[in-house]
Structure 1
Amino acid sequence: METPLPGTDPGPVKVKTGGGPEIPSARAAKAARRKALTPYLLLLPAVVATLVLLGWPLVKNLVLSFQNLNMRQFIQRVTEWTGFHNYQDVLGGEEFWRVTLRSVLFTGVNVILIMALGSLIGLLLARLGRRMRVFLLIGLVLAWAMPVIAATTVYQWLFAERFGVVNYVLDKLGWHSMADFSWTSSQLSTFFVITWLIVWQSIPFVAINLYAATTTIPKELYEAASLDGAGAWKSFKNVTFPFLRPFLFATTFLEVIWVFKAFAQVFAFNQGGPDRLTEILPVYAYIEGMGNQHFGMGAAISFLTLLILLGLTSYYLRIVLKQGEDEL
């Protein structure tokens, strides 16, 4: 065995076997293999839980989408395979494409409002004093923590036709025609209330996280910008925004996913009415599947919804990655 020089790291113990080349000892090799496998072992519980809780239901939904299943087949436990018939019916009808366009527009409007207002409030938090910041943060956390159905119920009461607070206030302010206005009587007014609800619920996430991101910006950069004569707008453009850009991209990505699948708010507020004019894809899949008892059809719509969401998010991620490469 070779003797290491004084003051040097001997490294893994090597053993000579006869006159052949030196090889690492079995103990060192075993430790190296264990070290290499550690990250995968730590990820294994999360991967297994994801496959069980998400992967298996997704596979079952995909299998169901190739079947004709209603209450008769369900009770008799009869499996009727129809191939791509459900997908042909869905993609061949105009209703699916109208709901898809409505869902994309609904998501776009909500995400724009959420990111704009949430970013402004987040920047405001960074400029407020400690007491006012804590007070505003408590209000944001309370709004964020309210359960979705509870918040939807509160908005139903606020915008109620006869005894709603909103109609009462508008009537007192001079808009007497709003005294008995029904916010659920038209597509536009229903979407207005639902949008307000979703934006109100989503702003705290954006604002709090953006405020947390502003705390990572070094103060020296603002001092250097002020010494160069930069005003508030130039400081924001050249210092604040470059640091916040990755956060804004990641948050927008999450908000697109969250708003696109906002089933609870839309269904609980008015069940997709009036006349199914406020249905978005998750609500459309539920009503066709559970409401009309066309379970195979509902499964096909839900799987197509997943594909559309994956397409939207992959397109957005491609833009983000391309911009990241350009910056490098």
Structure 2
Amino acid sequence: MTVHSQGAATSAPQDAPPKSAGRPKAPTTAPGSSHPVPPRGGRKSLPSGWLPYLLIGPAILSLAVLLLYPLIKNVILSFQDINKVEFIQRKYPFAGFDNYTELLGDSTFWTVVVRSFAFTLANVALIMALGSLIGILLNRLGKWMRLVLSMALVMAWAMPIVASVQVFQWLFDEQFGVMNWVMRTVGFSGYDRHNWFETGLSTLTIVTILVVWGSIPFVALNMYAGLTTVGGELYEAARMDGANGWQTFWKIVFPNLKPFFLITTFLEVIWVFKAFTQVYAMKKGGPDRASEILPVFAYVEGQSQAHYGLAAAISVLTIVILVIVMSFYFRLILKQEEEQ
């Protein structure tokens, strides 16, 4: 022990081993082994292979509850004979394939199927053609004009469907419609109180204008984004070879943006084929159910006619038809990916 001049004493010899503060640390490896020992009382780590499944688990559960369960219930309902009386009495008699047999033998159903395909084909062709042209225009405009046109496209795209349907009903109104006024102003006769919704064909034509108007912005803006990835040297080489605008599109633009055209067309086919709101909100499938497409046909049969089992069968057949059509398109997309 050493005594200082102030009288304080130090009691630790210089060669004594230092004491560690706190608990002694547990060994990190097992005796006689090189494998690490997990710390006691700590949180056990999950196997790394489980983490991706835990992350996507909530999404899969939500899809199962919101989509898979209603789909299964709808398929079961399609095999039952449920009308208004059975629904009130809560009786669910099994009908087998009677609903499907009735539909497949009904000429009205096949008329609606043909009408749905014609409606989809016309809309998708117009959307892709006009949207691509406007996308090319966006690529060639100056900065400020491109900004103005892009804002107009976004505003048209963001407009709610029901509100846009109301606007088109005003435009084509029989008494106060703008279209009748324009036709009279141009000099056409017979448009004093012309009914633009007189036939199913004219009604679907107006709905087609509405659908195309609301879908062009998506194609145009994506087309412009795709064109920005095409190098300017390719256009310069095409001009040096004497190619015109049409040849430049087919030789330069289309090959480079072929995946864009395939995916966008695929999405548009799905969106247009199941276009329910525009058709039903315009005239509820009228006049005389002459403008119904498959989603509207199923809704009218189920809600207006109270043929719930038959309506479920229509919706199931709609899904089957769409899956069959899309399978050919999926094959085309996979073939395109294999070629790249």
* TM range, smaller chain: 0.7 to 0.9
Name the CA shift for 1:91/1:234 in 2 (closer, same or farther; >3 Å).
closer
Asked if the contact 1:65/1:298 (under 8 Å) is kept, the reply is yes
Aligned to 2:186: 173
Matching residue's letter, 1:57: P
Equivalent residue in structure 2 for 1:189, among 174, 181, 202: 202
Which segments of 5 or more consecutive residues in structure 1 lack a partner in the other structure? Answer: 1-14
Question: 1:81-123 CA deviation, whole Å, 9 max, x = no partner?
Answer: 1111111111121111111111011100110001000110011
Provide closer, same or farther for how the CA distance between residues 225 and 42 of structure 1 changes in structure 2, counting only shifts above 3 A. farther
Residue 119 of structure 2: aligned partner: 106
Alignment partner of 1:236 is 2:249: yes
SS in 1 for 2:190: helix
Aligned residue for 1:301?
314
1:217-274: CA deviations, max 9, x gaps? 2334334444555554443333222221101110000000000011111111111112
1:137 aligns with 2:150: yes
Give the CA deviation at 1:322. 2.7
> In structure 2, how many angstroms separate the alpha carbons of the residues matched to 1:216 and 1:89?
52
Find out whether 1:318 has 2:331 as its counterpart. Answer: yes
TM-score (norm 2): 0.83
Aligned equivalent of 2:212: 199
2:76 to 57, 63, 75: 63
Does structure 1 residue 83 correspond to structure 2 residue 114?
A: no
Structure 1 residues 81 and 132: alpha-carbon distance in aligned structure 2, compared to 1, 3 A threshold = same
Alpha-carbon separation, structure 1, partners of 2:54 and 2:238: 47
Q: State the Cα distance separating 1:70 from its structure 2 match.
A: 2.0
| Residue number in structure 2 paired with 1:281 | 294
Aligned letter for 2:182?
V
**CA drift at 1:45:** 2.5
- Secondary structure, in 3 states, of the residue corresponding to 1:310? helix
The DSSP-based 3-state class of the residue aligned with 1:152 is helix
Equivalent-residue separation in structure 1 for 2:53 and 2:230 (angstroms): 34
**Which has the higher mean CA deviation after the structures are superposed, 73-82 or 249-258?**
73-82
Q: Answer yes or no: is 1:216 the counterpart of 2:229.
A: yes
Instruction: Give the SS at the match of 2:196.
Output: coil
Paired amino acid for 1:236: F
> 2: CA distance between counterparts of 1:38 and 1:241?
41
State the match for 1:270 in structure 2. 283
CA distance in 1, matches of 2:46, 2:81: 54
Alignment of 1:6-21 (within 5 A): none
Q: By how many angstroms is 1:67 displaced?
A: 1.2
Which amino acid in 1 is paired with 2:199?
Answer: S
Contact 1:170–1:179 under 8 Å retained in 2: no
Q: Which moved more, 1:278-287 or 1:63-72?
A: 63-72
Instruction: State the superposition RMSD in angstroms.
Output: 2.4
Q: Compare the two structures and name the one with the higher helix fraction.
A: 1
Structure 2: runs of 5 or more not aligned: 1-28, 39-43
> 4+ runs of 1 displaced by more than 6 Å?
24-27
Shift in Å, 1:324: 3.9
Say whether 1:124 aligns with 2:147. no
Instruction: Tell me which residue corresponds to 2:57.
Output: 44
Return closer, same or farther for 1:292/1:132 CA change in 2, 3 Å cut-off.
same
Counterpart-to-counterpart distance in 2, 1:219 and 1:97: 50
CA pair 31-126 structure 1, distance change in 2 beyond 3 A: farther
Aligned residue pair count: 307
Distance 2:211 2:221 in 1: 17
Q: 1:146 Cα shift?
A: 0.8
Residue 61 of structure 1 contacts residue 299 of structure 1 at CA under 8 Å; is this kept in 2? yes
Q: Aligned residues: percent identity?
A: 52
| 1:157 and 1:164 in contact (8 A); partners too | yes
